[in-house]
Structure 1
Amino acid sequence: MQIVINNIKMPVNHKIEDVLLAAQEFVRQQCIYADNFYIYRQSIDARHKKSIKYIYSVAAEVNNGAKILPNSNLQIISQNDEIKVESKKMFKKRPVVVGMGPCGLFTAYILTLSGNPPLIIERGGMVEERVKSVEEFWNSGKLNTESNVQFGEGGAGTFSDGKLNTGIKDKRQRFILKTFVRFGAPNDILYKSKPHIGTDKLRNVLINMRKYLLDNGCEIQFNTTLTSLKMRNGKVSEIELNNDKVIECDKLFLSIGHSSRDTYEMLYKAGVKIEAKPFAAGVRIEHKQEFISRSQYGVEWKSLPLADYKLVYNGKDRSCYSFCMCPGGYVVNASSEDERLVVNGMSDYKRDAENANSALVVSVRPEDFETNSPLAGIEFQRKYESMAFKLGGSDFSAPVQLAKDFLTGKKSSQLESVNPSFTGKTVLSDLRSCLPKFISVTLSEGLRYFDNKIKGFASGGAIMTGVEMRTSAPVKIARDSNFESVGIQGLYPAGEGAGYAGGIISAALDGIRVALAAIESCNTGY
């Protein structure tokens, strides 16, 4: 049996040995015999800058017969975060997983553990090739529309901060974290309150996970796109790959990313039920990381990990909020279509770059779209990505503007203390020219509000880069209680691209859910 000792407070400068000794002393005072102590959770309480504390939880083993009286500082924890599936061949035909982002990877992983290794198709390249094509794009402006920041092994998360925190309460999160560690992720993701892998270490995890899947019977086809889907009697029957090869399929796990616009169009024409969905859009804002750390931690900033922030402004009609904040990171060109520019944030595990960046986005609703089509959100995104591309000079240079100039509505004429970290060229511009008015207005209100929360947030040389449009999918693929597409048996839409996730962990969790649902349907004869 395991217990967790909570609320162990430590000064900024401390040793892990001090934490474990404090936990041991606590259980001794409770007359509990325990051993095998280890760090279970770590966070920082920076509410009072003059008295910043680390807050720890420590886990330990006790005998199953031990009498434990749980309270706020002592808990018994369940060890059922593992996922156990019986390994036996149960599917009549080999299942097919579309996409190798976190959702598709964990779908494939669970299916493989169950004894049913799938065929995995990925429109982009394997991570080693993908990194080369992305870096070539950033250096030359020559875009590979099939293998880029959005498409390829690992999904969009491969070129991100690799954040692993989520607001979803599901014990299987720890299974995901343990799996990442098994395949090479840093062990600290198991206990940090805001775990992240970083784009550099995530790539090695992907390579190791791919090797495991191949060694255990999976087949992986890179540079392969799902181009057609056929149904018979309300069931998936065939799929077409690369407008050429047709294969039989009765279990199709649709783990596409939120940028698979041509796939959405194909599915809609095939009769798959798709609904328009809200998302958010805006810009990336950059500050010196030192400025953010000083503002969050005060004089202790050098002794603490790089600070982040989470800001929300609720206006009369819209919300503006920070999203996907990357301490010590870069703003990257995340385009996936010719003549359309979109940006995102990325950082390495060490987060040792000069700037901090975050998306600053405004809520977008289906009523903001120009038509009632379920795919109208895609056209909304394309419209403003095209405008950003032209504003940057039509060569994938990014338009940038000082935050203070954005507030006054004038084009920036020169940079100040913050240099753009963008992976490419930048052009001083007026970002209002590539954003809808309602976003510009709410963004301005949000900037003023955030400047009261973090003094200097909207001044001091802070720079904004446009546009951020891919915060989440603009559509949702409807599914029933069996996790299958409404009215189509054997089609399992899942993850960010299907509208059921918003990050690496939530996407992986959804992939696990659909895989387990399909396994259960076979076990029950459904």
Structure 2
Amino acid sequence: MDETTGSPLMLQVSQLKLPVDHSEAELRQALLDRLQVKEAAYTIKQRAIDARRGRVHFSYTLLVEVKHEADVLKAHQDDTQIVPAPDETYREFDSCRHVHAGERPVVVGTGPCGLFAGLLLARAGLKPILLERGKAAGDRARDVTGFWRRGWDFNPESNVQYGEGGAGTFSDGKLYTQIRDREHRIPWILKEMVAAGAPEDILIKARPHIGTDRLIKVVRHIREEIISLGGEVRFGSRVSDVVIEKGSLRAVVLADGSVIEGSPIIFGIGHSSRDTFAMLHAHGIPFDPKPFSVGVRIEHPQRLVDQMLYGKWAGHERLGSAPYKFVAHCRTGRSAYSFCMCPGGLVVAATSEPGMVVTNGMSSYARAEANANAGFMVEVGPQDYGDAHPLAGIEFQRQIERRAYETGGSNYHAPAQLLGDFLAGRASSSQGSVKPSYEPGVVWTDLREVLPERVIATLKEAVSHINKSLPGFDLADAVLTAAETRSSAPVRIPRDPVTLECTSLKNFYPAGEGAGYAGGIISAAADGMRVAEAVLKARVG
């Protein structure tokens, strides 16, 4: 019994392992046996697939109610997997929701950072104005698929990088992250997504994902709530300039010349807003160069990956398409690693600028495509950029992307190479057993024409290391498609660690991936919440 509330004390039981084909009755019995009790009520907090050491099973974390819970805890006092259930309630917003209205906030960008910042501000009654250079999710999806599959012209304001939902809208929709979450924002974000139309299983899966097809519905629902609370969401509203007065950001200027004042002004612009970075830098806003990664998308048959990871359980409906993850430390002094792995997915065209080719990976919720793909990446840093300018990393990206465009035929086809040819140092001339999924299409070539030699050397060496843990990874017909350059922003905008304002400009709040403070859907959403909380706390009183 919880002495402070008089309520039954909930227990948390973790690492309860069961075979893939277990029944619900077997799960219940395993719990009773573990606790050595005859009755217990439980809910699933998390279910993970453990495929290590050649064995495949489910590992559960359960929230449990039992009679005489104090006695149960005492009987298992040496078992670190049976503990009082932690309180994971998100409370940061409760302390700052009653605030002075004041001037309306402006949020630039409607990726997960901007949407969740806007949602908190709207629920606090501040009626934020959200500005998005691209289109609403549905219109944006039509532009993107038209470019990929129907020969439509590339639209520099409506593509995989720009538009409602941000870059994560056209990805696997991964909803897990390694950031610290002492304030329990992540469980709250997931519950909000379910309320907005995401599948409920994201609340219990250890590695949840939502898929592009479901994510579009979720972002639309969040937008509609912001509007219902008095906020505004304006599409086709690219910020082309800013107004700074006496060391404070007072307004943003749109491409059509209109001026929008606000306080505060939050920039959640994403990692590919290069023109915005340049504009802010021209106004004297500081940027710190930071490392990011470049490489290729590598495709294998999904059935091969399933066999690598799940063995005899490959193809089991409870497991779905298998994901993998790897890091290989190489003699080159660099490491190669998997990035944004997409089981049962597609390699997609993801440029944000004309005359460049960029790749990314995408999966639907079902993860039912024939191939698995992942970024096969090598970290690069300021020492590689060839220039000390704060934005030199952007030009480094562009150089690779231009070479990819030209090598692919200057028509947005992507350069590709078979892994066997890549390792042998010869150009590819045709497809093998793995059909590349990239659209508009690929051109078979030698990727030494595209990527820096130091990146090529690291990728080559990494294959043998990876193959030890993923036998079959070195499949000669696996497809490498270039170039993957948008792993993260190559810059960070310094901000105060407490107020989260830019260190050199009042009323300016850099946030999310573009500012260098996030690296995925969940971490970007959480950072948007942090910034919104800081803004609200400043108005309390």
Give the TM-score normalised by structure 1.
0.95
TM-superposed deviation, 1:445: 1.0
Q: What does residue 59 of structure 2 align with?
A: 55
TM-superposed deviation, 1:62: 6.1
Amino acid corresponding to residue 424 of structure 2 in structure 1: T
Q: What does residue 287 of structure 1 align with?
A: 300
Matched residues in 2 for 1:402 and 1:260: separation? 32
Q: What does residue 211 of structure 1 align with?
A: 224
Q: What does residue 296 of structure 1 align with?
A: 309
TM-superposed deviation, 1:313: 1.1
Q: Is the 8 A contact 2:50 2:59 kept in 1?
A: yes
| 1:163-182 matched pairs, under 5 angstroms | 163-170=174-181, 171-182=184-195
Matched residues in 1 for 2:518 and 2:305: separation? 29
Matched residues in 2 for 1:387 and 1:225: separation? 28
Which of 38, 46, 51 is residue 43 of structure 2 equivalent to? 38
| 1:5-84 matched pairs, under 5 angstroms | 5-24=13-32, 26-27=34-35, 29-30=36-37, 35=41, 37-49=42-54, 51-61=55-65, 68-69=73-74, 71-83=79-91, 84=93
Matched residues in 1 for 2:24 and 2:230: separation? 42
- Of 167-176 and 395-404, deviating more is 167-176
Matched residues in 1 for 2:274 and 2:30: separation? 54
TM-superposed deviation, 1:371: 1.3
Amino acid corresponding to residue 135 of structure 1 in structure 2: T
Which of 104, 110, 113 is residue 100 of structure 1 equivalent to? 110
Q: For the structure 1 residues 65 and 372, does the alpha-carbon distance in structure 2 shift closer, same or farther, using more than 3 Å as the test? A: same
1:236-294, CA deviations, whole angstroms, 9 ceiling, x for partnerless residues?
Answer: 21211124001222301110010000000011011211111110000000000011110
Q: What does residue 494 of structure 1 align with?
A: 511
TM-superposed deviation, 1:58: 1.3
SS at 1:497's partner residue? coil
Q: Is the 8 A contact 1:229 1:236 kept in 2?
A: yes
Amino acid corresponding to residue 520 of structure 1 in structure 2: K
Matched residues in 2 for 1:336 and 1:487: separation? 29
| 1:349-368 matched pairs, under 5 angstroms | 349-368=365-384
Identical counterparts, % of pairs: 43
Q: For the structure 1 residues 62 and 498, does the alpha-carbon distance in structure 2 shift closer, same or farther, using more than 3 Å as the test? A: farther
1:12-39, CA deviations, whole angstroms, 9 ceiling, x for partnerless residues?
Answer: 1123343244335544x258x753x211
Which of 396, 401, 411 is residue 380 of structure 1 equivalent to? 396
| 1:116-265 matched pairs, under 5 angstroms | 116-139=126-149, 140=151, 142-170=153-181, 171-265=184-278
TM-superposed deviation, 1:379: 0.4
Q: What does residue 440 of structure 2 align with?
A: 424
SS at 1:456's partner residue? coil
SS at 1:446's partner residue? helix
Amino acid corresponding to residue 416 of structure 1 in structure 2: G
Segments of 5+ residues of structure 2 without an aligned counterpart are: 1-8
TM-superposed deviation, 1:451: 2.6
Q: Is the 8 A contact 2:99 2:540 kept in 1?
A: no
Q: Is the 8 A contact 2:397 2:485 kept in 1?
A: yes
1:305 aligns with 2:305: no
TM-superposed deviation, 1:77: 2.4
| 1:399-414 matched pairs, under 5 angstroms | 399-414=415-430
Matched residues in 1 for 2:63 and 2:511: separation? 34
Matched residues in 1 for 2:520 and 2:238: separation? 23
SS at 1:238's partner residue? strand
Q: Is the 8 A contact 2:14 2:82 kept in 1?
A: yes
Which of 526, 531, 534 is residue 514 of structure 1 equivalent to? 531
Matched residues in 2 for 1:262 and 1:61: separation? 55
Q: For the structure 1 residues 421 and 17, does the alpha-carbon distance in structure 2 shift closer, same or farther, using more than 3 Å as the test? A: farther
Q: For the structure 1 residues 91 and 319, does the alpha-carbon distance in structure 2 shift closer, same or farther, using more than 3 Å as the test? A: farther
SS at 1:377's partner residue? helix
Matched residues in 1 for 2:395 and 2:410: separation? 19
Q: Is the 8 A contact 1:118 1:219 kept in 2?
A: yes
Q: What does residue 4 of structure 2 align with?
A: none
Matched residues in 2 for 1:64 and 1:190: separation? 28
Q: CA RMSD in A?
A: 1.8
TM-superposed deviation, 1:377: 0.6
1:336-361, CA deviations, whole angstroms, 9 ceiling, x for partnerless residues?
Answer: 11000000000000100000000001
Matched residues in 1 for 2:513 and 2:358: separation? 18
Matched residues in 1 for 2:63 and 2:127: separation? 35
Q: Is the 8 A contact 1:251 1:490 kept in 2?
A: yes
Q: Is the 8 A contact 2:98 2:540 kept in 1?
A: no
Q: Is the 8 A contact 1:45 1:55 kept in 2?
A: yes
Give the TM-score normalised by structure 2.
0.93
SS at 1:230's partner residue? strand
1:347-389, CA deviations, whole angstroms, 9 ceiling, x for partnerless residues?
Answer: 0001000000000011111111121111101101111100000
1:275 aligns with 2:280: no
TM-superposed deviation, 1:63: 8.5
SS at 1:281's partner residue? strand
1:207-252, CA deviations, whole angstroms, 9 ceiling, x for partnerless residues?
Answer: 1111111111110100101111122222221211124001222301
Matched residues in 2 for 1:44 and 1:88: separation? 42
Matched residues in 1 for 2:191 and 2:482: separation? 36
- Of 381-390 and 441-450, deviating more is 441-450
SS at 2:373's partner residue? strand
1:105-161, CA deviations, whole angstroms, 9 ceiling, x for partnerless residues?
Answer: 111111122221310000110001000100111121511100100000000000000
Q: For the structure 1 residues 24 and 371, does the alpha-carbon distance in structure 2 shift closer, same or farther, using more than 3 Å as the test? A: same
Amino acid corresponding to residue 149 of structure 1 in structure 2: V
Q: What does residue 3 of structure 2 align with?
A: none
Matched residues in 2 for 1:17 and 1:344: separation? 42
TM-superposed deviation, 1:486: 0.9
Q: What does residue 325 of structure 1 align with?
A: 341
